[in-house]
Amino acid sequence: MQTTVGKDIGIAKQLLESGELVAIPTETVYGLAANAFDARAVAKIFEVKNRPRFDPLILHAKSVDAIKEYVIEIPEWARKLSEAFMPGPMTIVLAKNEMIPDIVTSGLDTVGIRVPHHQLLLELLRQLDFPLAAPSANPFGYVSPTNSQHVYDQLNQKIPYILDGGVCSIGIESTIVGESDGKPVILRLGGTAVEDIWRVIGECDIEIHSTSNPINPGKLEHHYAPNHRLIFGTMDFEGYSPSEIGIISFQKEYPGIPREHQITLSPTGDLKEAAQKIFSAMRILDAMNLAVIFAEHFPDIGLGRAINDRLKRAAAVKSEA
């Protein structure tokens, strides 16, 4: 199967309606999409990504109103968040109804749903009679893709079509908010800042757990990782020659390390800019002949929280089977 890259919504629509997979652009990262109502099509996502079946998928809906069709009820906190942040990098986890196949939710009785803030994708969703189930469009556990070339480099000949919507404007996955004991709780840090959420629904708990059996997408301990070793938060280069080192920094450059081995995400100190570039930076350095990649600890505010979360997971040592 030769993978084609293009901007034709008609081709994407036809493939999705026939049970095929299509890589789709979003404002966060590129997704690998299937008809969420077609369990056989959704199963292809797990096969192509080599993704564990216990890791649930996020549903992408065409509008906030459409969410009502897929869930039992929308609590007040979820209504407020959807009104404030959708379309956008916000996923809410709600009790699903019988329309959603178990394979989408890994057998759970809840489903994560969001409305993406990407015009090309929204146009596609409006032409479909079903929502899209879509995790990131990359092999499981590797760095998420933020442009169509990233997807092509890893999934060529595995999927028929990549809908090219340009570079992702956010560049990091959506924030996930669910419910625990009747109260909202932040389950994954992402493109909507914690502080912004708190301004809408009041301060709530953050429960970010690393586990081999996650109840929400993107919560495995070792995730978003490059092939090279990544060291997070400790910029101690002892034991490595300068030519072996890659660096991901927020604003500064490190003397003695080749400039071409350093990626400064935002010289002006803009965390939104840094988040938009973090996955691309990992990919660029991963393609070099390096022994190790060092990544700074970013300010733990705003989107800096999500950047630190992704870097921490990328640096986690894989457990042996």
CB 122 within 8 Å of CB 62: yes
**Rounded Cα–Cα distance for residues 182 and 18 (Å):** 40
User: Which residue blocks in the chain are alpha helix, DSSP H?
Assistant: 9-17, 39-49, 64-67, 76-85, 102-105, 119-127, 148-155, 194-201, 271-286, 304-315
Radius of gyration of the chain (CA): 19
Model pTM?
0.90
Domains, the chain, with CATH or none: 4-206 (3.90.870.10), 229-315 (3.40.50.11030)
Residue 212, pLDDT score: 38
In terms of Cα–Cα distance, which of 103, 84, 104, 252 is closest to 93?
A: 104
Res 40: pLDDT: 95
CA distances (Å), origin 161, targets 21, 154, 255: 8, 13, 44
Per-residue pLDDT of the chain (321 residues; tens, 9 = 90+): 899 999 999 999 999 999 999 999 999 999 999 999 999 999 999 999 988 777 899 999 999 999 999 999 999 999 999 999 999 999 999 999 999 999 999 999 999 999 999 999 999 999 999 999 999 999 988 899 999 999 999 999 999 999 999 999 999 999 999 999 999 999 999 999 999 999 999 999 998 754 434 455 554 554 567 888 999 999 999 999 999 999 999 999 999 999 999 999 999 999 999 999 999 999 999 999 899 999 999 999 999 999 999 999 899 854 332
For residue 215, the model assigns a pLDDT of 53
pLDDT at 221: 52
Report pLDDT for 214.
45
Looking at residue 50, its pLDDT comes to 86
Q: In this structure, are residues 18 and 35 in contact, taking their beta carbons and an 8 Å threshold?
A: no
Q: What is the pLDDT of residue 116?
A: 98
SS3 214: coil
CA–CA gap between residue 209 and residue 82 (Å, rounded): 24
Torsion over CA: 159, 162, 163, 169 (sign): positive
Q: Please, which residues have CB within 8 angstroms of residue 95's CB and are 6 or more apart in sequence?
A: 71, 72, 73, 109, 110
Q: What is the pLDDT of residue 320?
A: 32
Looking at residue 131, its pLDDT comes to: 98
